[in-house]
Chains A and B, each alone.
Chain A
Amino acid sequence: MELRRVEESVFRVLMILSLLIVVGSLLAVIGTILWKGLPVLSIDMITKTAEGGYFLGKGGGILNAIVGSLYLAAGGTVLAFFLSIGIAFYLQKEYSGGTKLSNLTRLSLDILWGTPSIVYGAFGFTVMMYFHMRASLLGGIIILAFLELPIMTRAMEEVLKTVPRELKEVSYSLGATRLETTLRVVSKQALPGLMTGVLIAFGRGIGDAASILFTAGYTDRIPTSLFDATASLPLAIFFQLGTPSPQVQQKAYASAVILLVIVLAISITTRFLSRKYTKYIIK
């Protein structure tokens, strides 16, 4: 009896410990970034593009990277969304019937999920070289879409799976087609989950540096067309930390703060918006 109680406490302590490690690391990361970044953060950082000699400690900001990152991640997420939603719906049993093709799709997605983003970058670079394309916003968007696709699709698929079968049965019994059921009932019930899927993918997209290093390039200007090269926040941080000038190195932390704020802001907005639609959901 005593031994069982000891076991119980030991495991509880272990669980609390894991929890503390997770929460602790998160706080440590955010804390470090804020502590080092906030003092350097200035209005110039977010309102000005890099000026001449920026990486040598001169003036200017990283507006080019902020805008570039938003373009890249938003473009990539929108593109990935249209592909994912189709795949995720198709993977549902009513459409694919749990066939070999759907299993193969799932396996491919899982492998893609596990593929390091530098591999995506290298692949994208090779393809672009073949077509004699230069690093561009479009290239970055496409490669980010592929990077986000498996995450978004798998997240959406899991959410769609949780839609109760009875709801679909009701819709079919009223004479609805599969498409009507999918669009008017299933997607409504799954909406908050689908939004979360999009959000997770967006987070991955905006934070990734390796895949866009060769495909989107880096520049001091804000891109004006899809074929311009573009800067991005993760690469800005990478280059800032890599300069010899301590002033610029410090600015990397300010950039990290900006990246963090963007991700948080988008996450909170989405949640707020999705709450508007969740009140009809059947629990």
Chain B
Amino acid sequence: MSETHIQIDNVNAYYSGHPALKNISVKIPKKQITAIIGPSGCGKSTLLKCMNRLIDLTDGITYSGKILIDNEDIFDRKTDIINIRKKMGLLAQKPTPLPMSIYENIAYGPRIHGIKKKADLDTIVEKYLTLVGLWEEVKDRLNSPASQLSVGQQQRLCLARGLAVEPEIILCDEPTSALDPISSQHIEQQLLKLKNEYTIVIVTHNIHQAMRLADYVIHLYLGEMVEHGPADEVFENPKDERTRAYINGTFLADVKIDKVIDTKGNQCPYNFVYAKQALHSLEKGQTLKMIVDDPTAVTEVPRGMEADGHVVLSVKQKNITDWEIVIKKKG
């Protein structure tokens, strides 16, 4: 394994007392792509936001542990978080251009870090827009509002903006989930190109994307790190049952489903009860598939079943409203 860039040590995080991350310890390798995978609500984004302490902006959050970047503990209150953040570019889920022109979006970072000369800024803007393949498309309208770009272009602009402060690390929070397939591909290609120079951490719930990009994989599940390791090992031979189920489940369940219940149209406590009844009627180790359309159920039912000791194999969105939860009875 290559050199460690970010060392996460015993990190716990709580949202108003509710655990979101439990005892996470992992080393993120330098100049590689590390993918954090896992179902919705498992703490992926929380972990990512811990790394640049944007987590501080969240209400009711408490955290403990250590995150060492270049031997500096970023959880230490004495650490100058402004300079730490400068080391890390962030690519958010939704492209978020700043309320300025295309040019100013790129120049914003360098400018607050002290570059004032127009000629220098011009060079930086051209360099990073070229790097993300946007220069040719926008060079004639650098002064028009960034909000006029297409969503895909906006995301590339955001990438360029993050790179312009010359970070060492790029943090990506589901960077392609709002994009069309072609724009997504564009971003993925950029990331693959950038990994020679940067350490990249990407949160994704798209297992295919993780497979295409990742050198190292961390699988989070309900706030717990169930598996981590080099990508080929984790994907080819997952050690943890839940990882295996997550990876398989995302393709095609070769899990045999013993019972299917449809609780669409039911609110949360009810689909919870139906799931319990259905599991009760099954033999040990048999599998239940349930369809839900209540957003609360999507996170709460797996949590509850997990608390009862059953194993939740997959939580997957089927279409706009429906989710599929696969649960294996304990035993």
> Assuming A94-B57, A168-B57, A281-B147, is B112 touching A175 (CB within 8 A)?
yes
- Whether B100 is near chain A, meaning CB under 8 Å from some CB there, is yes
Instruction: Please measure, in the bound complex, the distance between the C-alpha atom of A170 and the C-alpha atom of B165, giving whole angstroms.
Output: 12
Q: Is B310 an interface residue (CB 8 A)?
A: no
With CB as the reference atom, state the residue of chain B lying closest to A163. Answer: B99
- Closest Cβ neighbor of B111 among chain A residues: A184
- Asked if B57 and A185 sit within 8 Å, CB to CB, the answer is no
Q: How far is the CA of A4 from the CA of B62 in the complex (A)?
A: 50
The size bracket of the interface on B is 20 to 34
Q: Is the Cβ of A174 less than 8 Å from the Cβ of B57?
A: no
Chain A residues, CB < 8 A from B8: none
Q: Contact between B54 and A185 (Cβ–Cβ < 8 Å)?
A: no
Nearest CB in chain B: distance from A267 CB, A: 23
* Cβ–Cβ contact B85 & A172, under 8 A: yes
Q: Are B147 and A170 in contact (CB under 8 A)?
A: no
Kindly identify, within residues 166 to 215 of chain A, every residue whose CB is under 8 Å from any CB belonging to chain B.
166-177, 180, 184-185, 188-189
Asked if A279 is an interface residue, CB under 8 A from chain B, the answer is yes
- List residues 60-93 of chain B with CB under 8 A from any CB of chain A: 82-83, 85-86, 88-90, 92
Given contacts A173-B88, A173-B162, contact A282 B112 (CB under 8 A): no
Total interface residues on A, CB under 8 Å, equals: 27
Closest CB of chain B to A47's CB: distance in Å? 44
Alpha-carbon separation in the docked complex, A177 to B83 (Å):
10
- Are B94 and A166 touching (Cβ within 8 A)? yes
Given contacts A94-B57, A173-B90, contact A281 B85 (CB under 8 A): no
Residue of A with least CB distance to B90: A173
**B52 at the A interface (CB under 8 A):** yes
Residue numbers in B under 8 Å from A280 (CB-CB) = 99-101, 145-147
- In the assembled complex, 14 residue pairs joining A and B whose CB atoms fall closer than 8 Å, in A order, are A167-B99, A169-B54, A169-B57, A173-B88, A174-B162, A175-B86, A175-B112, A175-B113, A175-B165, A177-B82, A185-B99, A280-B146, A280-B147, A281-B99
Q: Taking beta carbons and an 8 Å cutoff, which residues of A are in contact with B? A: 93-94, 98, 164-177, 180, 184-185, 188-189, 279-283
